[in-house]
Amino acid sequence: MAYLQLQGLEKFFGEHRAIKGIDLDIQQGEFVVFVGPSGCGKSTLLRLIAGLEHIDGGSLTLEDRDITHLPSSKRDLAMVFQSYALYPHMSVAENMSFALKLANVPKSEIDAKVKKAAEILDLTAYLKRTPKELSGGQRQRVAIGRAIVRAPKVFLFDEPLSNLDAALRGQTRVEIAKLHRDLGATTIYVTHDQVEAMTLADRVVVLRDGLIEQVGTPLDLYDNPANQFVAQFIGTPQMNILNHAQWPTAIAAMAPAGAKGGSIGLRPESLLVCTDGSGNSQGKVELIEALGAETLVHVTTLEGAHLVARQSERTSLRTGDAVSISMALNKAHWFDSKGRVVKA
């Protein structure tokens, strides 16, 4: 049986059914990431698990124990918030030890746990400071430390890095990955950030409008999306989608029967921009994004599709150049008119 089991979980806000019956099994030690567009219910689902919102339907089981209606403090879970939620007047050490003090853990044990967490998180030099004397990244590490000292059964993270600048976000992401590798704690993590989802997750759960669209390993979702929604949600830049009206003849000739009237999806790396006219589709360069290690070339085709091609080489192309696009159609994803995957 799963370590943490969600069965038919539901949440209403007034008449609005925000979570519409979610089933999910999470194994011990697993790192599960919830992603999905704004308003799909990621945070609400996490808050239902944390016990911060009342569960209106279904059940939640942790290690064979029904915790559906248990108060948050009795669930043995620890949540790390985007806003850190530190006590401003307490020192780092006091913030980290607060929950243990409340639980009447002996002082010597608290001190040992705080010391160890501070070492893991590189906070030893800051234990006497208050949160306002710390950088955003250090504050977030204190918030993580506060969760670690409690040794909870499950760590819950609600967009923990979104208040940090890009460089610090990258660093802290790596720290969280290492932490998970070292502690092996069961973790559920909500994010908007594709890179966080792809790099941290053992499994990614893609949510849409209160329901699960697909669950899988990051690369499984990338390579085998179950539908057009997941295909376009996972991956940056997004998968290129050409509806049937935008197909050049090469695509129309290859389309499986079920995709007629539907669309084709091609990842940016499945497109090659050619200047010798040898591609499947003619077009014009609209924009070039030179990112250093890679170049994104935006092309509008004669059929009216806007495509983004990713190439690892630098380019001498310029905006307005006439080009053709060579498409790796063996890597195509086909969808029917309802956006469901059609096997080639």
Q: Which residues bind ligand ATP (CB under 6 A)?
A: 13, 16, 18, 36, 38-44, 192
**Closer to ligand ATP at the Cβ: 95 or 140?**
140
**Closer to ligand ATP at the Cβ: 205 or 242?**
205
Sequence-ordered list of residues with C-beta below 8 angstroms from that of 344, at least 6 positions apart, any chain:
254, 256, 332, 334
**Residue 81 CB, nearest approach to ligand ATP (Å):** 12
**Closer to ligand ATP at the Cβ: 42 or 173?**
42
**Residue 50 CB, nearest approach to ligand ATP (Å):** 12
Write a three-state SS string for the chain: CCCEEEEEEEEEECCEEEEEEEEEEECCCCEEEEECCCCCCHHHHHHHHHCCCCCCEEEEEECCEECCCCCHHHCCEEEEECCCCCCCCCCHHHHHHHHHHHCCCCHHHHHHHHHHHHHHCCCHHHCCCCHHHCCHHHHHHHHHHHHHHCCCCEEEEECCCCCCCHHHHHHHHHHHHHHHHHHCCEEEEECCCHHHHHHHCCEEEEEECCEEEEEECHHHHHHCCCEHHHHHHCCCCCCEEEEHHHCCHHHHHHCCHHHCCCEEEECHHHEEEECCCCCCEEEEEEEEEECCCCEEEEEEECCCCEEEEEECCCCCCCCCCEEEEEECHHHCEEECCCCEEECC
**Residue 47 CB, nearest approach to ligand ATP (Å):** 7
**Closer to ligand ATP at the Cβ: 120 or 143?**
143
**Closer to ligand ATP at the Cβ: 30 or 53?**
53
**Residue 44 CB, nearest approach to ligand ATP (Å):** 3
**Closer to ligand ATP at the Cβ: 26 or 40?**
40
Residue 79, token pair as written in the block: 């949540």
**Closer to ligand ATP at the Cβ: 155 or 247?**
155
**Closer to ligand ATP at the Cβ: 44 or 227?**
44
**Residue 136 CB, nearest approach to ligand ATP (Å):** 19
**Residue 11 CB, nearest approach to ligand ATP (Å):** 8
**Residue 197 CB, nearest approach to ligand ATP (Å):** 13
**Residue 129 CB, nearest approach to ligand ATP (Å):** 30
